[in-house]
Structure formats: C-alpha cells, structure tokens
Structure 1
Amino acid sequence: MDCSIQWLRRYAAPQADADTIADLLTMAGLEVDGIARYGQPLDDLVIGHIEAVHTHPNADRLVLCDVATNPDATVQIVCGAPNVAAGQRVPVAPAGTTLQLPTEKGSDERQPITLEAREIRGEMSNGMICSAHELGLTSDASGIMVLDDEAPVGMPFVEYLQAHNITPTDTVLDIDLTPNRADAASHIGVARDLSALTGAPLHRPNVDLPDEGGPVAERFSVSIADAEACPRYVALCVEDVEVGPSPVWLQQRLERIGLRPRNVIVDITNFVLHECGQPLHAFDADTLHGNEIHVGTATEDTPFTTLDDQERTCPAGTLFIRDAERPVAIAGVMGGADTEVTEDTTTVLIESAYFDPSHIRRTAKALALQTDSSYRFERGVDRDGQVWAAARAADLMVKLAGGTRVNGMIDAHPHPPEPRTVTLRPERANALLGTDLARADMQTHLESIGIAAEPTGEGLRCTLPTWRPDLAIEEDLIEEVARLHGYDRIPRPERIQIPARIADLPGSERTHRNEARQLLRGAGFREIYTNSMLPLEVAEQFNPHDTPVVETQNPISREMAALRPRLLPGALRVLQHNHNHGQDAIRLFEFGRVMRRATADEATQVPGTTEHEALLIAATGPDAPRHWDRAARNTDVYDLKGTVADLLSALGAPAQFTPSTSTPRYVAYALDIAADDVALGTLACIHPDTAAHYDLDEAVLVAELDWEAVSRVVDTQPGYQPVPRVPVVERDLAVLVDANAPVGPLLDTAKDAGAPLVQQADLFDLYEGKGIPSGQKSVALSVRLAADHTLTDSEIDACMDSITSALQHTHSATLRQQ
C-alpha cells in the first residue's frame, strides 16, 4: 500500500522525518519496501496577476503577458499555454529560479533548469508562468495553473499552497502489508500505529453522524436477502451536486499514491477509502430504477457490464447490488456502467457496506478482477466504520461539489455483532516474550492502538476494536505488546535450551545430499533455487508424465498457475538470465521437489497428487574459462555424463547409461540412467529450437535424477579394496562392432566375463575409416587384471579369451586383425 507522509501527518504528526517514520513502521510490523520522493521546493515562486495578454508578433502559438508580481512591478513573460487569459492569478517563477522541469510535455522524467531573462522569437521573457505538472503538484499539463481570484498578488506561492492544503513536496512509503493487517490499509490505520509508536496524538476528522431514517429512508429502500454475505448496508444521499474536476489538493493526494483523478464525486470516494479503509460506491441516484436497493447472491451465471465498460460473466453465487429491475454493482468489487456518476449527475446515493471477506474473495478470483475495494473487503474492513465513512464522503461532497446532504440515512444491519473480549495474562506474555514488563505498560501499549484494557484479577480484560478482525486470542494480544514495546528491545537470554537432535547417520538421505552438493561444487557447479510454480503452458510443455500437471487453485498470477512437473523449466530460465548477462561457461545444479498427478492406485498424503525430490545438473557454453595454454571447446554430452557418473560412483551407485528409445519434442537426444536395474533419471541434450527460445545458442546438457531413487540404491556401507600386493597386468583388445553400437555395454560385458580378475576396463581408442569395413567401427579396450597372486600367462590368456568370446557372443564383435 502506498502511504503519503504529508497525508499521514493530517492524522498523526510526530517530530520525525520520513526515513525515521519508515524505520519505526517497519520495526512495528508494517514493513516499508520502498520510499519515493515527489515534488520540489517552490520557495522562489510568487503569485502573479496577468494584467494583459498580447499577440506575439513572431509566433502564432505564443502570447506576451504583462504580469504583475507586486503592486510596483510588472514584467513581460512569453507564454504558450492554451488557457492563459487576462485577469488570472497564476504561479510565477521569476528569472533566476531553478526548477526541476519535465524533459518533455507530460513526462515524469525531470531535469534542473535555471530560468533566465531571454529573448523568445525576438521578445523578452522575464520568467515563467507554470503549470501544476511543471511544479510537480499534479499531472495536469494541459495548461497553466490558474489560482483563486482572491489569491494575493506578490504572496509567496508556498504560503498559498499551505493555505489550500497543497504540499509542494512529499514522500510516499510503499508498505508491504501482511494479510492480517487489513486495518493498516489506510492512512488513518497507519497513523494509529504511528501515534502509538511516537506518542503523537491521533486525529480523526470530526464528522456529524446522521440519525437513522428521515427523508433518505422515505425516498429509498434497502433490503438484504443474504445477511451472511452482507451483514450491513448504509446509504446516504447528497443532491444538487455539480460534477467537475476535483480541487488541486484532492487530485494531488490521489496522484501521489498512484490513482488517476476522475471527477470530484469519484475522487471523494477514493479519498475516503484511502483515508479510513472503508470502500464506498457512488450511484447516480436518478438512474436507479424504483429507488430500490436489493443485496443478494445470483442463482445463475449473470452477464454484467462494469465501470470499465467490459461485459463480464459473473458465476452463480456472486453477490450483487440490484435496483428494482437489474444488477447495478458487483458487491465489494466494482460498480456498473449504467449507474455511474457522470457530468450530468445531480443526485448521488452513497453506498457504505460491510461484505463478508470470503464472498468477495471468491468473486474477485472468479472474475480475475482485484480492485482497491475488493483488496480491503477480502481482508476484512471495520465492522463499525460504515456510517462514519459515508458521512465523511457526504460532507466532502457538500463542501467540494456544492451539494446538499439529505437528512437521515438508511442503516440495514440485521444482526449487529457482540463485542469481542479476550483476557491477557501478563505472566503468560512475559513468559512467551522473555520480558519483564509491568501490567500497566502492557495496558498502555494496547490502549494506544484502541484496545480497551480493563485490569481484572486474571490480568487485562481486553475489548477488541472492530477495525482489528485479526485479533482473536491471547497470543494475538501478546504479539501486539511485543511489536509496540519493540522487538529490538526484547533482551537476549543469557542461556537458551538446545533440544537434543539425533545426528545424521552415514548414508542417510541428507548426508547423501550434502555429499552431492560438495562434489558438484568442487566440479565447478553452482547451486540455484527456482520457483516451484510455473505458467500452465510451460508446465504442460515440459511435463514428462502421462498424467496432467498439478494446477494451483486461485493463482495470484498466470506465472504461478501450475506446480512444476520437473526442474528443467526453472533451470532454463536461469541459464537464459546468466547468458544474457554475459556469462558463457555456465554450470549449475538444483535440489527441489517436483509434483505430478497420482494414479488411482497410488496412496498419497495429498489426494490425487504425489511429489518427490529431484536433482538437476545442467551445463552449457565452453567447458572451461578461456586460458592461454589450452584451446577452448564447447561442453558436450560426455562432459556431463562424466560428472553424473563420477557423482553416482562416489555415492556408491555406479550407473549405466543407455540411449533412450523415446524423447519429448524439446529434447534432441537422451540417455537413460540406471543402477542395479533401478531407473534413476535421464541425461539429455535440449533441442536447439527449445534452447533458442531461451536465447541459448550453444548445446544445453541437462541431467535430472530422481533423488529418492538414488538414495535407495546408494551403498550405505563404504567399501574398501586394498592396493594389490603384486603387479597388475594390462592388456589391450581391439574389436570390430556395428557402427551404431554403444560402447558402454561392451565395457560391462568385458568386466563381467573377466571377473574376478578384471579390475577395470576402459575405452582408449575409437576408429572408423580406411581399413574398417563399411558400417563398422573399431573399439579398442584397455583391460586391467589383478589378483592376490602373480598372474600366470595361462590365467591371463584364459581371461582374455573369455572376454573375447563374450564380446563375440553378446555383441557380434570380431577381433580386429590389423
């Protein structure tokens, strides 16, 4: 929520600057995310009187103005504003004034300009007649700012602004409200906390509250069909209004917090909303059929055109405000186009209601329509603030729009709630907080935010204010005491109790994860953390399962519409970000949970959904940073395969890699990873088209492992193999196999056939070309043999013959003769 410091000071004015106020609020739980500063000092400006306007002899769009800035001085100023006229009182910046002026008309970007007396198209201009936008007061750049006819000539302009509640400078705090602090979604709400923190008095504008009934109740009727959805509905009427632009101070208040002024009536409802937190709606009373208001839920889908001129289909259950014939507003969300206030409006019916948060939340989510009103109704507004807000708006309409308030009001309130009380025990509060606060101090803290606290034998009997729907139990009050006392003032205990925890056993899942992290970091990979939610179309694109993706209910944005079925999409976005910021050799990994829809026969903690932990390892770009002693090359599949093989081997789960028989569209080719016939995951090269979509122009290699499967197959008892006491024997073997035959199975066959003598088998040469039959390749293997005794030639020959025979039988391999 945006909160204007100058506006805030209307209700609580501590002797503190904006930065100090931001710190105080943040430490009290209203976290200030950002601070924006607006406007500029206008000390050098004065009020001038345009005595005459003459045609500029050398320019069609410029005029010459004779401007009196005091009774004894008149200067000539060249002006190009379309609304300039003789007799106006205007703000004048004399020559020598430095202003922060827009770089171009209507722009928010500004630069310092020192005004000089200079010729413009051959005529002298001694200063500048300013617009409100040029001075940083409002966004109105349509012409110069015209002041009241009574504005004293020669008066310092800042004094005029102060007299009209206009502030030349302001600071706006961006407060990140937690969902429970609906009471702070207004300037008075924030001021209440600020008053409690600083001791500055809290001032709320005095408003004459009307009596129930009277001419308003005779002229209009209100009925509530669903008292659960709408426990209270207040209506006031103001007639004979003149709808036009709001005064500058009101436009300024709204613009500083990011709202666009519309007209004086709508602006007043928005002002009161951000002043006290109670949403209002203004109907053009003459457009209400039958002068009737009916509040109830729709029994079927209903089309409705809202104020933004969009026709929306509202689902059954939507709470509507209706007149005698039709819906006129979606309760708590947005009004209708048929009854909106226009320049022709003369009579306004003010709606001020309390709507049930759950009803408004469902409607706003169903329509994907969040407004300032729905934001507050969803969190809960003051149950007792409707009359004050409506009366405040009516008073402003009388003052600013020339209206007349019709006596009385309608207050439909079928079931007024009972006061809520909670007992706070000081001993319990001190025990939880680790403090030694006196009961009187706790009472002072609570009463400073409007909680009536009466001492009793048990402690403090607290009556909870209606504007704090989040307070319900004793612990809520203890939290209020803590934040108002100051979290930073709660002492650290000299001793703390540390609960006993069983250390991780060697081989546990956490230990394996930590070992994997260390190994990958040592290999040059960086760990990342990505969002577990994705856009629905992205989740479906990368879904490797036969079941649908898991969609989120009521996603806060389309970027978070589904839970990730795998870690790959998040990793691709990280690779894209790093590549676009000049990183070439990128190595990363991530541990995270992935989700999928469960099959009918799967037992899961969450019905219909299952999840498991996964490990992703990805690489792209050069295999290493550029260096003088080696030629650069791009990372290939063998680099990542080696990393995965080393990782699994170090964990005690030597893996086998076999080509995948089927791959999704976003994969160019892939290898299946398994250990002891347990599927562990895949290693893939991302298809160039998919990589290009993420701005990646080099091969992208990715391995994804089911970490829970890995944990099941790793060797939990580290083995030890002594160094042979006798020399090992190495033999080379070259065979001819089919050109498409993978080498991995050849090595596995050689190891199995030569067991137990074969300690290691490796590929040391691969050749195709001259001397090799077409369609075949030469594979040269290096075999290392060892035993607990010196091997004889006959043992070695028998082992090599066994290996050769197995290769011939299993892979149709033939010995290479040359």
Structure 2
Amino acid sequence: MYLSLNWLKDYVQPDLSPEALSDLLTMAGLEVDGMEVSGPSLDGVVVGRVLTAEQHPNADRLRVCTVDIGGSPEASGESEPVQIVCGAPNVAAGQMVPVATVGTVLMLPDRETGEPTPVTIKKGKIRGEVSFGMICAEDELGLGDDHDGILVLDTDATPGTPLAEVIALPGDIVYDIALTPNRPDAASHIGVARDVAALTDTVLTLPQVDTPEASGEVNERITVEIEDTDGCARYAAMLVTGVTVAPSPDWLRERLEAIGVRPINNVVDVTNFVLHEMGQPLHAFDLAHIAGDTIRVRASRAGEKVTTLDDVERELPEGTLLICDKERPVAVAGVMGAANSEVSDSTTDVLIESAYFDPARIRSAAKALSMQTDASYRFERGVDPTAQVRAASRAAALIAEVGGGTVASGAIDENPVRFEPTVVTVRPERARMLIGAEIADDEMITLLQAIGFEVAESGADTLQAFADGAFASGHVAEAASDASGAGLRVVVPPFRPDVEREVDVIEEIARLWGYDNVPTPRTAPVALVPTPEAPAERLLAAARTQLAALGFRELFTNSLVPSETAERYAGADWTGQETRTVETLNPISQEIAAMRPSLLHGLVNAAAYNQKRGASDLRLFESGHVYARSTDASQPVEGFAEHTALAFAISGLAQQQRWDAPTRASDFYDLKGVVMAVLSASGVTGIEETPRREPSGLTAYALELSARGQRLGVIARVSDAVAEAADLAAPLFAAELDWDAVARVAARGLTRYEAISRFPTVDRDLALVLDAEQPVGPLAETIRRAGGPLLQDVRLFDLYTGDRIEAGKKSAAFTLVFGADRTLRDKEVDGRVKKIVRTLEHQHGATLRA
C-alpha cells in the first residue's frame, strides 16, 4: 500500500523526519518496503548575495554579476565571490538569490520538445565573459511556472546556505508499506495516522463529517432490497443531484497521483479518495441508468454474465454477490462496477454505494474472476462494519464541493445483520509475562485507548457503566454482567476484525509499547546438548560462504508466485521431471497463488530488475525450498514433494577492460566453473555430464549433472522466450542444484591434509581423435578414473578441427600429471597411460592422433 506523507499530515503531525517515521512504522508492524521522494531536487543550489550587476560588454540583454556564495570550495571551486553571467531583467545588486553551482544538475526544458531534461551546470564563457554557475528562476528549480525573472529570496540566510534549508519545498514522500493481511485497518491514511498518533503521543484529527439519519429525500427516490443477507450485512447509499462531471481540482488530483492512482473525473476521484482516506470502498452509479430506481443485492444465477468497467464480458460463477437494479446486474459486489451504469460526462445525479460485504464471498469472487481491485483488496480483509454511512456522507459532501451538486437529504441504511463488538478479558500479569517487560496497568490502558479500544477494569458497576457508554449492544451488556474474572475488559473497535483473543490484545500492547523497548534478559536457558546441524545444512552454509567469496550476491525471493509463473517455471527441462505445481487454498492475492517449483523465476526477475537500472554485470545466487506434486508415498506430506535447492546466475561482463586485456562477456563455462567448484568443495566426485543442445521452453542449451545415479541439477543458458518475456538486456546463464541430492552423494568424513610431495611429477600429453559431436567432459572423467591414484591432474589444452582431421572428427589434447610420494619410473607411468588409452577407445571410440 502506498502512503503519502503530505496526505497523512492532514490527520496527524508527527515531529519526525521522513526516515524516522519510516523506522517507527516498521517497528510497529507496518513494514516500509521503500520510500520515494517526489518534487524538485535542490542538491547543489545555494543562497547567494548579488554584490554587483554590471552590463555585459558584448550583449545588451546580459549582465555580469559578482555573487557571494559563501566561499564554498565544494560548491564552486572558488574561495572568493564568483562571476556569473545572467540574462534576467530583474537581477540587481543586494539581492539574495538561488545559485546553481558548478556541477549541479537541473531539470531544464528541452529547446525542441519542451520536456524537462537533466542539464549539468558547467564553468563556461558567455559572449566572452566567464560564468561560474547560474542564478535561477522559479521554473528552473521546479518551484513554479514563473520565468519572467530570477527568484528573489526574502531571507537573511548566510550566503552558501543550501536553498532547501531556506524555503519550503513542494513535493511529497511516498511510503510503500508491506501491509500484512491481519491489518485491514491500516489500508487507509486515517488507519495509519491512528497508529502514528498513538506511537508519537500526538493528536489524531479526523475530517468533520455530518452523518444524516436514515430517512429523507433519498429514501423517497431509491429503494434498496438485500436478498442475500449472508453476503451483504449492510448497505448504505446517498444521493447527490445536479452534479457537473469534470476533471478534478489540483488538490484532489495531486493526492491520488502521489499514491499511483490515475485521476478519471471528479466523481470517481472522490470515491477513490475516500477509499484511500478511510479504507471504505465506495461505488458511484449514474442514477439515470438504475432501472426502476431500485437496488437489489442478490447472488448470481448459473451462466449469468456482466460487462465490467474494463469492457470485458465475464461469466459469473453461481453464487457471486451482485448489485442489481430492477432489470440487470449493475456491479459485481465489492469487486468492480458494470459498464451499463458508470458515471460519464452526461451524468447529473450520482448514487453513492457504501456497503459491508462478507470477506469470504468477495475473496472467492475476485479469485474466480481473476480480478484484484483496490475495493476487493479491502473487502476481502474486512472493512469497518459501522463506517458505511460516514464514508458515504464524506463522499457526498466532497462530490457536491468539487462537482457543484446538492446532497439530497437523509441516507439509506439497510442493516439486516447488526454488528456486535468483540469483548476480551485481558490479564495484565499475563501481558507482562508474555511481553517480558514490566508495563503498568495504566500504561496498557492508555496505549489501547490511543488506537480506539475501550477499556475498563473488571468490576460490576464500573464495567456496566462502561458498556452502556461504549457500544450499546446486548453482546456487551451480557459480557459486562460477568465480572467474576480479574483483569481488564476490552471492547475491540469495529475496524479491528483481526483482534479476537486475549493474546491479540497483548500483541497490540507490545507493538505500541515498542518491541525494541523489551529488555534483553540477563540469563536465558541454553540446552546442555546443542542441536546437531544436519550435514546438508553444513554443506549449504559452506557453499553460500564460498559463493559470496567469489563475488556472488545472495537473493531472498518469495516462495509464493502467481499460478501462471509456477506453471511456466516447472518445465522438465529445468526441474528434471514432469510435475504438477502446488497451488495454495484461498490465496489472498493472485500474485501469491502457488508455491515455486524452482528458483529460476527469482533469478530471472532479479537480473531483469538490475539490468533495467544499469547494473548489468551480475553474479547472483539463492538457496531455498522448492515444491511440487508427488506420488512418492515416502514424502513427509502425502502427495507433495519439497527439497532444498541452490541456484546461480551470471550475466554481463566476466572481465572488465584492463590495460593489458580487453573486456570479456560471461559465458556458459564461467558458470560451469563456479558450479563445479562448489560441488568439488562439497565433496562430490564422479560427476556425469549429459549435454542438451536442443532449445526448450526454459533453456537454449543445457548440461545435466548427475552422480551415483542421482540427478544433481542443470546448467543452462536461459531461453530466448524467457529472456524476451522478462525483457532481459543480456544473455543470462543459470544453474540450479538439488541440494538434498548433493548432500546424499557428497563424501563423508574428515578433511585430510597431505604435505606437498618433494618428489617431481611426470607430465604426459595425449592427443585423441573422436567424433565431432562427442563432449570432452566425459573423456576427462574417464581419464581420471582409469588413471588411478598416480594421476594427480588432467587438463584439456587444445581442441582442433580442420584439414588434418577427417570430416566429422575433432582432436582433443590433454595434459596428464602423474605423481606420488616417491620417484616414479617410466614403466609404471607408461602402463597407466596405455590403460587410459584402451579405456578411452573402448568407452568413447577415441583413438590416439597420428
């Protein structure tokens, strides 16, 4: 969810920097994933005092100015006042002005297109006079549209002071909050403001809203019938007549654009504004298109279809909650309106819908229709069931303000299912025990009341009076009469459906008191016998350290992905087997509807993200669990398989240009070398390689690795189809290992160290002729096995195809290094070489080159 700081300050005024507010929200459970600054950048722009302003000797419209900019060598490279040539007619001695110093980047309009273009201010000559900067106009700084002259500052600031410290900058700070599903109350600016006010002990200021009674003109003009009370517990509506549909005013457009919402018109923009302000989704109907002036809320019938606002005709699953008029559906409840009743330029009378829909029904409909909207996002998590009339009143007043209409008297409020608040008994001693801190009872009450909870100590008289004054309902009164338990009785506010039990309330106390304030205990129990680390975990930890030392950066991506992504990256060409993906039940979003079948998706996304931002030379790795359907009865969960994987990826340059060597692009063999190094360090030997040269869905070409009959993984170049879909700017080479399989075949036992032999080694070269299509890797492995303990190393040093080799053949030359802790005799080395040659001829058809 995007949160505008300027918008937030309409309700609360925290005395915190944007960075400090970000930290505060994160520590309170509203994790800030990112913070974006909008508005002009004034880096390098300082306050200057014009000392002199003389006529330019070679130009009538220019003046040569001497400007004191504070003697800042960092800004100007000068310790004395600087000379600046200025063309503004209003520049004069004695003025305080904004000066863009040498090296400053300004967004100035392009001479041809007029579009803002970054321009670096440089030292230069203008008609023969040297200029060390630029005295700026308002529009050149992004502070307005005025270009009639330079901006003259009304300030007594010292020359050299950064301009950003002197003037109030337009712009905004927008926070990207990773909202957890249990906090629907925070899916709005007022919801977050409530937390901020509580955390900073400041006042929460809510907009003034006049809530009408459920009567009046609107009830005479519109009839609302709720047939499906299980799906719709409350339906409120208000009417605004005489509206002129037009573009929204600047303040409204700016609020929406700041959080990434596209303005449409003043009516629709108001409904979006109230949604993001209060968290209550609204919908605006053109009353002229509501047949029979009737709204009916019912379940859809089999085969029923609706054309939604995005002009797509959708067949609805039976039981989908619908908003209908006398003749037809006019909206899919809680998801999207229909095109047949949308607000248009000709609309004059606007009917505002504000309802409470069952979260499970909305979630089911949104998933079935593959539609996630701002409205469904909030409805399926649970909105405040008491806020419908208030939200409709807020929207009606704003529509009348920005659209010139009149709010019809009264409101419709059909409320067949009365809301009953949750009442929880909280034991302060248990709260102190669970939190691990001595928090006074009074402080707990203060913290809870700050976020809308009503609290009273348990006592028959006190609690009864409290219940009568808090939420007058039979539920509360019944709970109030039971005063036998000691502790605090807490009435949960209706906008917090996630708080149901004592421990939930205790969590709120801990969150507001501050997790970072919980003291670290002086002692803690420690098991007498440490939990042994599994061999696979030890090997993986060592591999991660090795990869980091090789310059790889570790990724941590979500194990939940869209279903389409899971299907795409579950191919047998990558995973090694045909499998069905694992989908989650009732996902809260289509973006996290399935479990990842491999780690390739995360590598591809990370590579594309970095390449688009100029980081093209990449070395990435990730470890984590991957999932698939399985018929293996030995799996811990029947029908499902899960294993740990380790994946790598490289792209861009393997070697930067040096004075003694040119650049070199990364290739398949760079990645293969890393994979083999990791496997070797893990104690895996006897690796068999099976090349796949034919392109497939995920790979352009690949090399399958196995050992002792178990598939270890694959090394490949990512296919062109995947690269194009992700918009990769350079080839990506990737590998993925089944780390559980690696651990099974890895050598066990202690690492043994041997002293370097003081005896010389013996080198022999073998030049072999083999089929041109024959991979060389298996030959090297055969040489190692046949060479026995005397063979210490095998290196390929030459590959040749040409006139001296018959067609369809190639020559591969190896250096063999023999050694032992003694002096070797020629006879035993020759015998070993002969055995190697015989084995190569028998297994691979390779012969010595004449």
TM-score, scaled relative to structure 1: 0.71
Q: Is the 8 A contact 1:4 1:170 kept in 2?
A: no
Alignment partner, residue 483 of structure 1: 511
Instruction: Pick closer, same or farther for the CA change 1:575–1:452 going to 2, 3 Å.
Output: closer
Q: Give the drift of 1:407.
A: 5.2
Alignment partner, residue 686 of structure 2: 655
Q: Residue type matched to 1:185 in 2?
A: A
- Aligned with 2:569: secondary structure? helix
Q: Residue type matched to 2:540 in 1?
A: R
Instruction: Pick closer, same or farther for the CA change 1:107–1:449 going to 2, 3 Å.
Output: farther
Pick aligned residue for 1:319 from 318, 321, 336 = 321
Aligned residues between the structures? 715
Cα root mean square deviation, aligned: 5.2
Question: What is the alpha-carbon distance in structure 1 between the residues aligned to residue 662 and residue 821 of structure 2?
Answer: 44
Q: Is the 8 A contact 2:690 2:705 kept in 1?
A: no
Question: Are residues 1:298 and 2:329 paired?
Answer: no
Q: Residue type matched to 2:685 in 1?
A: P
Question: Are residues 1:514 and 2:546 paired?
Answer: no
Alignment partner, residue 539 of structure 1: 569
Pick aligned residue for 2:742 from 705, 710, 713 = 710
Q: Is the 8 A contact 1:3 1:174 kept in 2?
A: yes
Pick aligned residue for 1:179 from 151, 166, 181 = 181
Question: What is the alpha-carbon distance in structure 1 between the residues aligned to residue 226 and residue 709 of structure 2?
Answer: 68
Q: Give the drift of 1:465.
A: 1.1
Pick aligned residue for 2:502 from 457, 469, 474 = 474
Q: Is the 8 A contact 1:753 1:803 kept in 2?
A: yes
Q: Residue type matched to 1:654 in 2?
A: T
Question: What is the alpha-carbon distance in structure 1 between the residues aligned to residue 24 and residue 548 of structure 2?
Answer: 42
Q: Give the drift of 1:321.
A: 0.9
Alignment of structure 1 residues 474-623 onto 2, 5 Å: 474-498=502-526, 502=530, 504=532, 508-522=535-549, 525-529=552-556, 533=561, 536=565, 539=569, 543-545=574-576, 547=578, 550=581, 565-568=597-600, 570-571=602-603, 587-598=619-630, 600-601=631-632, 604=635, 608-618=639-649
Pick aligned residue for 1:355 from 354, 357, 365 = 357
Alignment partner, residue 436 of structure 1: 438
Q: How far does the alpha carbon of each residue in 1:356-387 deviate from its partner, in whole angstroms, 9 at most, with x for none?
A: 12222333344444444333222221111123
Q: Is the 8 A contact 1:278 1:389 kept in 2?
A: yes
Q: Give the drift of 1:435.
A: 1.9
Alignment partner, residue 492 of structure 2: 464
Alignment partner, residue 78 of structure 2: none
Alignment partner, residue 58 of structure 1: none
Instruction: Pick closer, same or farther for the CA change 1:795–1:528 going to 2, 3 Å.
Output: same
Alignment of structure 1 residues 766-781 onto 2, 5 Å: none
Q: Quick one: percent identity of the two aligned structures?
A: 44
Q: Is the 8 A contact 2:362 2:376 kept in 1?
A: yes
Q: Give the drift of 1:461.
A: 0.3
Question: What is the alpha-carbon distance in structure 1 between the residues aligned to residue 355 and residue 377 of structure 2?
Answer: 14
Instruction: Pick closer, same or farther for the CA change 1:635–1:181 going to 2, 3 Å.
Output: closer
Question: What is the alpha-carbon distance in structure 2 between the residues aligned to residue 641 and residue 800 of structure 1?
Answer: 28
Q: Is the 8 A contact 2:761 2:820 kept in 1?
A: no
Answer with 311-320 or 544-553: which moved more: 544-553
Q: Residue type matched to 2:578 in 1?
A: T
Instruction: Pick closer, same or farther for the CA change 1:724–1:492 going to 2, 3 Å.
Output: closer
- Aligned with 1:480: secondary structure? helix
Answer with 176-185 or 341-350: which moved more: 341-350
Alignment partner, residue 454 of structure 2: 452
Question: What is the alpha-carbon distance in structure 2 between the residues aligned to residue 466 and residue 275 of structure 1?
Answer: 17
Q: Is the 8 A contact 1:254 1:271 kept in 2?
A: yes
- Aligned with 1:231: secondary structure? strand
Question: What is the alpha-carbon distance in structure 1 between the residues aligned to residue 757 and residue 489 of structure 2?
Answer: 84
Instruction: Pick closer, same or farther for the CA change 1:110–1:387 going to 2, 3 Å.
Output: farther
Answer with 191-200 or 445-454: which moved more: 191-200
Alignment of structure 1 residues 277-292 onto 2, 5 Å: 277-292=279-294
Q: Give the drift of 1:9.
A: 5.3
Question: What is the alpha-carbon distance in structure 2 between the residues aligned to residue 111 and residue 815 of structure 1?
Answer: 66
Q: Residue type matched to 1:418 in 2?
A: E
Alignment partner, residue 422 of structure 1: 424
Question: What is the alpha-carbon distance in structure 2 between the residues aligned to residue 250 and residue 780 of structure 1?
Answer: 75
Q: Give the drift of 1:656.
A: 3.6
Question: What is the alpha-carbon distance in structure 1 between the residues aligned to residue 669 and residue 257 of structure 2?
Answer: 60
Q: Give the drift of 1:29.
A: 3.9
Question: What is the alpha-carbon distance in structure 1 between the residues aligned to residue 254 and residue 823 of structure 2?
Answer: 95
Q: Residue type matched to 1:182 in 2?
A: P
Q: Residue type matched to 1:675 in 2?
A: A
Question: What is the alpha-carbon distance in structure 2 between the residues aligned to residue 560 and residue 767 of structure 1?
Answer: 51
Pick aligned residue for 1:378 from 377, 380, 386 = 380
Q: How far does the alpha carbon of each residue in 1:721-765 deviate from its partner, in whole angstroms, 9 at most, with x for none?
A: 867999678474757543445555556666666657666666677
Instruction: Pick closer, same or farther for the CA change 1:213–1:108 going to 2, 3 Å.
Output: farther
Q: Give the drift of 1:511.
A: 1.7
Alignment of structure 1 residues 327-342 onto 2, 5 Å: 327-342=329-344
Instruction: Pick closer, same or farther for the CA change 1:39–1:236 going to 2, 3 Å.
Output: farther
Q: Give the drift of 1:690.
A: 7.8
- Structure 1, unaligned runs of 5 or more: 41-93, 113-127, 138-166
Alignment partner, residue 471 of structure 2: none
Instruction: Pick closer, same or farther for the CA change 1:531–1:412 going to 2, 3 Å.
Output: closer
Q: Give the drift of 1:296.
A: 1.1
Answer with 292-301 or 460-469: which moved more: 292-301
Question: What is the alpha-carbon distance in structure 1 between the residues aligned to residue 37 and residue 829 of structure 2?
Answer: 82
Q: How far does the alpha carbon of each residue in 1:283-305 deviate from its partner, in whole angstroms, 9 at most, with x for none?
A: 34343222322111112243323
Instruction: Pick closer, same or farther for the CA change 1:655–1:293 going to 2, 3 Å.
Output: same
Instruction: Pick closer, same or farther for the CA change 1:404–1:497 going to 2, 3 Å.
Output: same
Q: Give the drift of 1:674.
A: 3.1
Q: Is the 8 A contact 1:172 1:257 kept in 2?
A: no
Instruction: Pick closer, same or farther for the CA change 1:476–1:175 going to 2, 3 Å.
Output: farther
Question: What is the alpha-carbon distance in structure 2 between the residues aligned to residue 225 and residue 797 of structure 1?
Answer: 94
Question: What is the alpha-carbon distance in structure 2 between the residues aligned to residue 807 and residue 249 of structure 1?
Answer: 80
Question: Are residues 1:364 and 2:395 paired?
Answer: no
- Aligned with 2:380: secondary structure? helix
Q: Is the 8 A contact 1:101 1:135 kept in 2?
A: no
Q: Is the 8 A contact 1:765 1:781 kept in 2?
A: yes
Alignment partner, residue 198 of structure 2: 196
Q: Give the drift of 1:274.
A: 4.0
Question: What is the alpha-carbon distance in structure 2 between the residues aligned to residue 343 and residue 586 of structure 1?
Answer: 51
Question: What is the alpha-carbon distance in structure 2 between the residues aligned to residue 699 and residue 341 of structure 1?
Answer: 48
Q: Residue type matched to 1:485 in 2?
A: W
Alignment partner, residue 674 of structure 1: 706
Q: Residue type matched to 1:278 in 2?
A: Q
TM-score, scaled relative to structure 2: 0.69
Instruction: Pick closer, same or farther for the CA change 1:2–1:515 going to 2, 3 Å.
Output: closer
Q: How far does the alpha carbon of each residue in 1:463-489 deviate from its partner, in whole angstroms, 9 at most, with x for none?
A: 111121121122222222223333444
